[in-house]
A and B are shown apart, each in its own frame.
Chain A
Amino acid sequence: AQSVTQLGSHVSVSEGALVLLRCNYSSSVPPYLFWYVQYPNQGLQLLLKYTSAATLVKGINGFEAEFKKSETSFHLTKPSAHMSDAAEYFCAVKSGYSTLTFGKGTMLLVSP
């Protein structure tokens, strides 16, 4: 069985501030982890994914995430928020023969 927990349904930051979106996973086998972003009225776009090659994963738009097995976490960060980062972010896990399991999502709000 696998699951994802995203802490905080909404996160608010000021433009230029650090972005931190939290994701914790549960998986009985080594997981593959993904972060997707969804802008209003659009589909999901892959930001980055962890597939065991490296624990620090760099993605698009300046985002990165670090896989920490001891903490079962895969938090998403960006050093400096931009207004265009305002969107819904989904963490997802896949392991073994399972389907992709999404977290409930975190809405990132960026204020000027």
Chain B
Amino acid sequence: DTEVTQTPKHLVMGMTNKKSLKCEQHMGHRAMYWYKQKAKKPPELMFVYSYEKLSINESVPSRFSPECPNSSLLNLHLHALQPEDSALYLCASSQESTSGGAGETQYFGPGTRLLVL
């Protein structure tokens, strides 16, 4: 099973709202990722968790707050977002983190399409 699930599928929020995106995998992977994808663009890496610890933060604004409660779950907490944050948010997982296993495949979830009004 190579499935990564994400909820919700769609989310509309105002600039003052607080919401969370959720990601789950049961492949025993120890690395999990958040990407942001704008229309007609490739995914942009936001955060990497390795063994439940934040290992990479690609200078993402603090209005995005990641959390990894356990090895199967990854959350992205959203607060005071801007309209330009509207995008497809993708979660991925792989067996290894960026510190090893260079050839490990990242498996992606279906994404959450976020619209900020």
Contact = CB atoms under 8 A, between A and B. Distances in A.
B82 to A, nearest CB: 23
Range, interface on chain A: 20 to 34
Interface in A32-84: 32, 34, 36, 41-46, 49, 51-52
Interface in B47-72: 48, 56
Given A98-B98, A100-B45, A102-B43, A43 B110 contact: yes
A90 interface: yes
Contact of B102 (A45, A46, A96, A105): A96
Contacts of B92: 44
A104 B113 CA distance: 20
Nearest to A50: B103
- Chain A binding surface SS class: loop
A99 B108 contact: no
Interface in A2-35: 32, 34
20 contacts: A43-B4, A43-B6, A43-B111, A49-B103, A49-B105, A51-B103, A52-B103, A90-B43, A96-B102, A97-B98, A98-B98, A99-B45, A99-B98, A100-B45, A100-B106, A102-B43, A103-B42, A104-B41, A105-B40, A105-B41
